[in-house]
Structures are given as C-alpha cells and as structure tokens.
C-alpha cells in the first residue's frame, strides 16, 4: 500500500506542483484548497502525513494544526507546515503548536522530499518499536504504545517531542548538544538553526513539567545542550 499524503493549500499551482512530484516519487496524494475541507478529508482518508499551509480559507493552518493535536484520531499524524510566513516568530509559533517541521516558500522540491522521507522514517520506526519502557522519576515513556505518562496522567506529545524525550532518556546522565539533537531527531542536513531544538525543548518542558511545577526533568547545560538524570 502506498504512503498517503494530504496537501492542504489554497494555491492551485503549488498543489499541482506538489501532487506531480509526490506521485512521481511513489506517494498517493489527496488535496484540499481550504481548511474546513482539509480537516474533513483528514478524517475520511486517514493520511500518513499532512502538508499544511498557514493562510487558508475557512480555518487557518495554525488553527487546524491545533485541532489536529487535540483530536484523538489525528494527534499523532506527522504535519509539515509549508508556508510563505517566514518570520522567526511565525516558525516558532508553528513548531510550538505541534508542527513536526516548518518549510517556507519558495522551497526546493528535493529538500521537501528529503524532509518528508525523514519524518515518515521516524514515524515508522516508532510504530515498529519493540516493547520497551524508559523512565525517570515519575515519568514513563512506553515505546511500544507510543505513550508518555507523568504518574497516572497521560501526556500528549508531538512526534518530535516524543523523539527528543526518548533520546534524552536513552542517554540519561549524558549532556547532548543542540547540534547532536538536531542531527539525531531531524535526521538530515537541516537548514534551520539550533534555535529549533530550543523551541521544541521549551514546549516539551511545558507539557511534562507545567508552568509552576517544582518537578524538573530536563536540565539545560548553558552553552552546551540538555540532559536528563
């Protein structure tokens, strides 16, 4: 069965360009030109990955992303934002809202295909993980079920947040540099900055530690990186 990708973008020529190149690369492609139709197609077609524009009719891409991450049937779907919004604040908002990657227009088809391959590879690795439990304090990560618990409370993480936590737990006590985390989690020659890692770590911390929690899991080693003991 072919991997199915859903494109949600209101620019017809962009959709046609993406559809052609993705189908040539062996993917099955669905598309929608507005947010509401796109969300309904997600439910109907169950895509393996979503390419999502920000500025859409009906529902903006960022609002749709937030819906995806709170919908039980869609929350674990990989989402790559593909948008003309190229300010650093836009990128941070997209990543903090749960995007697994963020690519600005105009974009390179080769780079986009590489990033799609990388995201899908990580997702498939997670799906095939053997039964394994990683823990620290009262935090538990189940590789088989792709679930994280703080005590008895289930914590919903995006794919990259899960991968970051997994990598830190697998290297307990070791300091992992931002460049190391960027290379291991993104899995390709990423054209962004290590700032991307900081954004994901900050959002991961907010989910597992809370704004006022005295329970700290991830330590920042200034000028170096992060670790979990």
| Residue 12 pLDDT class (50, 70, 90 cuts) | very high
Distance from C-alpha of 133 to C-alpha of 61, rounded to nearest angstrom: 35
When pLDDT is averaged across residues 192-204 and rounded to a whole number, the result is 83
When pLDDT is averaged across residues 38-53 and rounded to a whole number, the result is 93
Which of 33-47, 73-87, 117-131 has the weakest average pLDDT? 117-131
Tell me, what's the pLDDT at 182?
81
Helix (H, G, I), strand (E, B) or coil at 184: helix
| Residue 213 pLDDT class (50, 70, 90 cuts) | low
Locus of tokens 């039964």:
131
Instruction: Show me where the domains of the chain are located.
Output: 4-126, 130-228
For every residue of 115-130, DSSP letters joined together read HHHHHHHHHHHHHT--
Angle at 126 between CA 172 and CA 144, to 5 degrees: 80
Distance from C-alpha of 76 to C-alpha of 190, rounded to nearest angstrom: 22
Distance from C-alpha of 116 to C-alpha of 133, rounded to nearest angstrom: 28
**pLDDT tens digits, residue range 138-190?**
899 988 777 899 888 999 888 888 889 999 998 988 999 888 888 778 765 55
Which of 109-118, 129-138, 146-155 has the weakest average pLDDT? 129-138
Tell me, what's the pLDDT at 137?
87
Strand partners, 182: none
| Residue 123 pLDDT class (50, 70, 90 cuts) | confident
**In terms of C-beta density within 10 A (0-12 exposed, 13-18 middle, 19 or more buried), how is residue 89 classed?**
exposed
Locus of tokens 């360009």:
17
Look at domain 130-228 and name its CATH class: mainly alpha
pTM over 0.85: no
Distance from C-alpha of 147 to C-alpha of 46, rounded to nearest angstrom: 20
CATH code given to domain 4-126? 3.40.50.2300
Q: Taken in order 101, 107, 108, 113, is the CA torsion positive or negative?
A: positive
């Amino acid at each position: 069965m072919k991997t199915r990708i859903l494109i949600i973008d209101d620019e017809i020529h962009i959709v046609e360009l993406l559809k052609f190149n993705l189908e040539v690369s062996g993917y099955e492609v669905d598309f929608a030109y507005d947010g509401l139709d796109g969300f309904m197609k997600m439910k109907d077609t169950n895509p393996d990955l979503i390419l999502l524009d920000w500025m859409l009719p009906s529902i903006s891409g960022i609002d749709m992303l937030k819906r995806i991450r709170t919908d039980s049937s869609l929350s674990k779907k990989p989402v790559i934002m593909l948008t003309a919004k190229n300010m650093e604040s836009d990128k941070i908002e997209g990543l903090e809202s749960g995007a697994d990657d963020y690519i600005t227009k105009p974009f390179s088809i080769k780079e986009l295909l590489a990033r799609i391959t990388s995201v899908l590879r990580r997702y498939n690795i997670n799906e095939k993980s053997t039964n394994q439990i990683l823990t620290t304090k009262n935090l538990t990560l189940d590789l088989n079920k792709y679930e994280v618990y703080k005590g008895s409370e289930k914590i919903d993480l995006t794919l990259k947040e899960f991968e970051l936590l997994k990598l830190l737990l697998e290297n307990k006590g070791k300091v992992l540099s931002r460049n190391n985390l960027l290379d291991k989690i993104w899995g390709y020659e990423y054209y962004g900055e290590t700032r991307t890692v900081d954004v994901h770590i900050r959002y991961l911390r907010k989910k597992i530690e809370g704004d006022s929690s005295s329970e700290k899991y991830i330590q920042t080693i200034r000028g170096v990186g992060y670790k979990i003991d």
